Amino acid sequence: MSRPVIVGVDGSPEAVAAAAWAAREAVLRRVSLRIVHADDTPGPATAWPDSFETRGRWAEDLLAEVAESVRREHPALETEGRHRSGRPSEVLADEASEAGLLVLGSRGLGGVRGFLLGSVGMATISVTKCPVVLVRAPERPDAADGAVPAGPTRNVVVGVDLDRFFAPLLDFALTEAALRGDRVLVLYGWSMMPVVRDASALVAAERDMGPGIAGRLTEALKPWRHKFPSTEVVQQSPVGGPARLLLHAADTADLVVVGRRVRSGSLGVHIGSVTHALIHHCPAPVAVIAHE
């Protein structure tokens, strides 16, 4: 894990929370932290000198302020600030090519528990192949920035689809859990064919099909249990929508891990419905892992 953790900042409370989370992650990984601000001022620097200089000073002050805040909490952490010109999504994607992890802030919808992931965040995710973690600002002013309240048991939650390639998600989730001393909760939600879905049919389906599905999941997880013998891996494969199950599990999570498929053809970027739901509504930090 020699690649730095990179965090994008813009002066918002969400970016402050993201920087605090990114700093703790860099300490866990024993790597440096790079704090990046992208300035999308149009035209050459000489076009509006006063405005350009003012914005430049503000950006430098912002980077210094964030770095100082990080150093107060983590004096030994190596930090670097970068002020770059260009579209934020393009700058962050370029920076991410050197990163082990990219961290971004996400805005809540007022009092509603959820993300309003702006165009910059979505555009960055869509062109970034390294893991991207989305962090929202704390709902209470007295809460620690980007921190998740301690509980009796903390999880790194990962959603998998047994019919798709999910190895990168498990590798990331188990590595993160090992760094934190957390356990991993692997969730696979499944549903019946949309013919009969009354309560008795669901009970019967879970009774008849559940053991077989649980067995498939157990078999699929064997290589990771062997690779990470010191990390507890808990599996659940209930009937239900994956997004709803993951959002429910997020209440006891330090991190929720979901995937997005990498596509380079005419269909372009694909962010599935489950991942879309998580990045917009999950209260815990969400890691989006690109995979084939």
Distance (Å, rounded) from C-alpha 174 to C-alpha 150? 20
Task: Indicate the class that CATH gives domain 5-136.
Answer: alpha beta
Residue 263, pLDDT > 70, answer no
Do 5-136 and 155-291 share a fold? yes
Instruction: Work out the mean pLDDT of the chain and round it to a whole number.
Output: 82
Residue 170, pLDDT > 70, answer yes
- pLDDT, tens only, 140-158: 545 455 454 445 558 999 9
pLDDT bracket for residue 108 (50, 70, 90):
very low
Residue 178, pLDDT > 90, answer yes
Predicted pLDDT at 94: 93
Q: 119 or 92, which is more confident?
A: 92
Residue 198, pLDDT > 70, answer no
Predicted pLDDT at 60: 92
Mean pLDDT of 21-33: 97
pLDDT bracket for residue 40 (50, 70, 90):
confident
The first and second tokens of residue 103, run together, are 């961290």
* Cβ density class 69-95: b for 16+ within 10 Å, e for less: bbeeebeebebebebbbeebbbbbbeb
CA neighbor of 7 nearest in space, from 58, 57, 79: 79
Predicted pLDDT at 277: 86
Predicted pLDDT at 193: 56
Predicted pLDDT at 111: 37
Residue 98, pLDDT > 70, answer yes
Q: Of 3.40.50.12370, 3.40.50.1010, 3.40.50.1820, 3.30.930.10, which CATH number belongs to 155-291?
A: 3.40.50.12370
- Locate the domains of the chain by residue range: 5-136, 155-291
Mean pLDDT of 267-278: 74
